[in-house]
Amino acid sequence: MIKELAKMIDHSILHPTKTDKDLLRECQVAVKYDVASVCVKPYMVKEAAEYLKGTDVMVGCVIGFPAGNSTIEVKVFETGTACRDGAVEIDMVINVGKALSGEWEYIEKEIDAVTKACHKNGAIVKVIFETDYVTRDEDKIRLCEICTSVGADYVKTSSGFGFVKDKDGRFYYTGATVPDLKLMRQHSGPEVKVKAAGGIRTLDQLLEVREAGCSRCGATATAAIMEEAINRFGA
Closest to 102 (Cα-Cα) out of 66, 150, 70, 136: 136
Residues in Cβ contact with 51 at an 8 Å cutoff, skipping those fewer than 6 apart: 23, 24, 27, 28
What pLDDT score does 172 carry?
A: 66
Closest to 89 (Cα-Cα) out of 162, 154, 161: 154
What pLDDT score does 181 carry?
A: 97
Q: Phi first, then psi: what are they for 111, rounded to 5°?
A: -65, -40
Q: How confident is the model at residue 235 (pLDDT cuts 50, 70, 90)?
A: low
Tell me the β-bridge partners of 195: 156, 216
Mean pLDDT of the chain: 95
Helix (H) or strand (E) holding 109: helix 104-120
Spatial separation of the C-alpha atoms in residues 232 and 127, rounded to whole Å: 33
Neighbours of 34 (CB within 10 A): 15
Average pLDDT on 48-75 reads 97
What pLDDT score does 164 carry?
A: 74
Residue range 154-176, pLDDT digits in tens: 999 999 887 777 777 777 678 89
Residue range 140-157, pLDDT digits in tens: 999 999 999 999 999 999
Helix (H) or strand (E) holding 217: strand 216-219
Counting DSSP H helices and E strands in the chain, the numbers are: 10, 10
Q: What is the pTM (predicted TM-score) of this model?
A: 0.95
Q: Which of 165 and 80 is assigned the larger pLDDT?
A: 80
Residue range 110-126, pLDDT digits in tens: 999 999 999 999 999 99
Q: Is 195 a catalytic residue?
A: yes
What pLDDT score does 174 carry?
A: 82
Spatial separation of the C-alpha atoms in residues 21 and 178, rounded to whole Å: 35
Judged by DSSP in three states, 53 sits in coil
- Contact between 115 and 150 (Cβ < 8 Å): yes
Q: Is 41 a catalytic residue?
A: no
Average pLDDT on 216-225 reads 96
Q: Is 109 a catalytic residue?
A: no
Catalytic residue (one of 10, 75, 91, 126): 91
Catalytic residue (one of 126, 140, 193, 195): 195
Round to the nearest angstrom and report the end-to-end CA distance of the chain: 9
Catalytic residue (one of 75, 140, 156, 193): 156
Q: Tell me: domain 2-233, CATH 3.90.76.10, correct?
A: no
Reply yes or no on whether the pLDDT at 77 is more than 70.
yes
What pLDDT score does 234 carry?
A: 76
Residue range 101-110, pLDDT digits in tens: 999 999 999 9
Spatial separation of the C-alpha atoms in residues 7 and 36, rounded to whole Å: 4
